[in-house]
Amino acid sequence: MSRGGALVTGSATGIGRGIALALAREGYDVAVHYRRSGAEAEATRSEIEALGVRAITLQADVTDSGAAAMLVQETHSRLGSLAALVNNVGNYVYGPLDELSMEEWEDVFATNLDATFAICRAAVPLMRAAGGGRIVNLGYAGAQNLVARSNLTAYAIAKTGVVLLTKAIARAEAGSGITANVVAPGVIENSATKPLREIPAGREGRIEEVAAAVVYFVSPEAAYVTGQVLEVAGGWNL
């Protein structure tokens, strides 16, 4: 029996794909979202369907608030519910602060923070009407501790915003059966930069480990857990 519909943004490849597959294994029907990676999204959809659940592919530019809202509505309509939402989309810029352009700054905020807000704003009323739901937003290890990383300034600030947004949703919706939490990856196998010497565990994380943290937050056992940040980072900020 299906656990309901799940939307994972940016799920054609990488961490998003891993999360989509993990949710499918837990019994969710999954909406695979993409912006440009149509062929990869179709491949992910096929993998999910092979696990015995339903899967659809949906294209949208989630930096457009109208498109973001339509993405949520279409997921709900085609899958019959929106029981779980994972906001995974977020561009990443690495480089010195004094070389960061306004265009890069605005893109990082649009994809990481603004898109997450737009998607959540559309999803919460649907979940509230259904008596509950699970929201998991992807953060960044250290953002909740206000750890400065000079080559990741825009990204770190945007992800700090994601943490505060998630906590605000968690507080506002705690009585409606909706939980909202953050999974905060550190250096993962597909990370653009890998400062492994800074990681106490001495290795990069696996996509499956990030996905497992998401699965916990959407599980029945986590129904009383909301507004929390779970780092998957090998002790990076200890």
* Fold entry, domain 5-232: Rossmann fold (3.40.50)
User: Does 192 score more than 80 pLDDT?
Assistant: no
Mean pLDDT over residues 113-135, rounded? 98
Question: Kindly report the CA angle at 119 between 113 and 120, in degrees rounded to 5?
Answer: 85
The answer to whether residue 94 is catalytic is no
Give the domain ranges of the chain: 5-232
CB-hemisphere CA count at 13 Å for 38?
3
**Annotated active-site residue in 94, 140, 155, 224:** 155
- 189 confidence band (pLDDT: 50, 70, 90): very high
Whole-model pTM: value is 0.96
User: Does 1 score more than 80 pLDDT?
Assistant: no
pLDDT in tens, 85-115: 999 999 999 999 999 999 999 999 999 999 9
Of the candidate ranges 55-59, 112-116, 125-129, 140-144, the one whose mean pLDDT is the lowest: 140-144
DSSP code string of 116-146: HHHHHHHHHHHHHHHT-EEEEEE--TTGGGT
Q: What is the C-alpha to C-alpha distance for residues 61 and 36, in angstroms, rounded to an integer? A: 9
Mean pLDDT over residues 36-44, rounded? 96
Phi-psi group of 62: left, alpha or beta (phi > 0 → left; psi -120 to 50 → alpha; rest → beta): alpha
Q: What is the C-alpha to C-alpha distance for residues 17 and 9, in angstroms, rounded to an integer? A: 9
User: Does 150 score more than 90 pLDDT?
Assistant: no
DSSP 206: P
| Predicted pLDDT at 56 | 98
